[in-house]
Structure 1
Amino acid sequence: MNGVKAKTLAHLYKQLKTLWRPAAAPVQLCSLAACTRKNRNDALHPLWQSPLTIPGGTRQSPINIQWRDSVYDPFLKPLNISYDPTTCLHIWNNGYSFLVEFDDSTDKSIIVGGPLENQYRLKQFHFHWGAINEWGSEHTVDSKFYPAELHLVHWNAVAYPTFEEAVMEGNGLAVIGVFLKLGAHHEGLQTLVDALPAIKHKDTVIEFDVFDPTCLIPSCPDYWTYAGSLTTPPLTESVTWIIKKKPIEVDENQHE
């Protein structure tokens, strides 16, 4: 789609750029915040400025998903998503991106089934993006980048007492990945874009309650899954990735 940008996505890029500021690592142990890799930036992203606490292993993410190498598993269950909109708490600017965070003290917002042995609680979601539409997603499909990628981060509260412990251990996290592509107007995404100007400054937190992130997940049940890692330090291989095959569409109003 030469010369075409999604208006909503372009606005998202513009707002996100105002959030990135060189800063120390966030206070939280692992925010999993949006992060573009060093070879896609002129400056080194703050999460990569200090030595890695855990070296890369054999299950590092992201990966290039190849359709021809995908293996159908008839024993995989459907993924069941049950989010309570009232568990949405706030949007937080951590100095280089934003997180939409949820109350994870109970099992009100969970996913279960699919490749997961236990139910996992929703902790937060964030986006990965690029400076242009030609790339932005972390995962690729047949070496193709999407303009952006949404990550909904969940943790195994059955096996671990806290999110911080789950980050460091096997089967601790489950992340749903959703690709964004150019297409129809997306009201759910627009709601987020409209809120971003209020968190221009580092450590700004605003209330963002009664939001159902289900609206950001395609209804098509098909997904890829694999055992991988965080894509930002500490790069722990604690993530069960669930990558939705169908992307969501964002506004196709055109401008050069």
Structure 2
Amino acid sequence: MVKPKVLILKTAGTNCDLETAFAFETAGAAPEAVHINELARGERRLADFQILAISGGFSYGDDISAGKILANELKYKLFDDLRAFIQRERLIIGICNGFQVLVKAGLLPGHAACAQEATLAPNDCGVFQDKWVHLKVEESRCVWTRGCPEVIYLPIAHGEGKFIPKSEEILTRLRENRQVVFRYGDDKGKTGDYPVNPNGSIDAIAGICDETGRVFGLMPHPERHLISLQHPRWTRLGTKRHGDGFQIFLNAVNYFK
């Protein structure tokens, strides 16, 4: 089988690209790091790839607000390429800072008008959150989470992770269209206030997809729980080989079989 090609987008401040590339490679894809300027200058083509991954970090130092500058670059330099990429049924994932970028570029919750309909705001607790969290996996249309168990365990590392939709109507649309992919919860999947919801996200939302189910963004880091040894209690997991994040990357590879 020909391995799907993954474009790992890089820019100043990106710092999770190697882990993200390793995750895709482990799942059977062929990742390659490409700088945003290479795409903007036409030296590389998004159309030559099957998957676009915007990994975590602090793009451009998160000046103005987290992910905003890179979001503007995507929106004003690569909008036509991105629209064609989505229309050709390719996959996009944004992790942590990448999720912030997708939301602020208007690619999530939807991509038709590329208008921003939500944001990721500073955590209610007022401090950077670096911890492991349980996530309730919702019955969504997201192709990235097929086959995941009802509750998974992933790490977070962010200071601006509070998901806020622009209006109650947009929140209702997310629910009704099955675009809510992950919610913060306890080990049984029950949602609640802090610390279960570590940043105060509206409706405890930790990840969403677009209406196609192919564009996916989440604040937790699946690439940091790829193998069982990365789990903080790995000695109690027995012979389990893969971590909870592996299925997400495997689904992307299997999508192109």
Do the structures match in fold with TM over 0.5? no
Higher helix share: 2
Q: TM-score normalised to the size of structure 1? A: 0.26
Q: TM-score normalised to the size of structure 2? A: 0.25
Between 1 and 2, higher relative CO (CA 8 Å, sep ≥ 6) is seen in 1
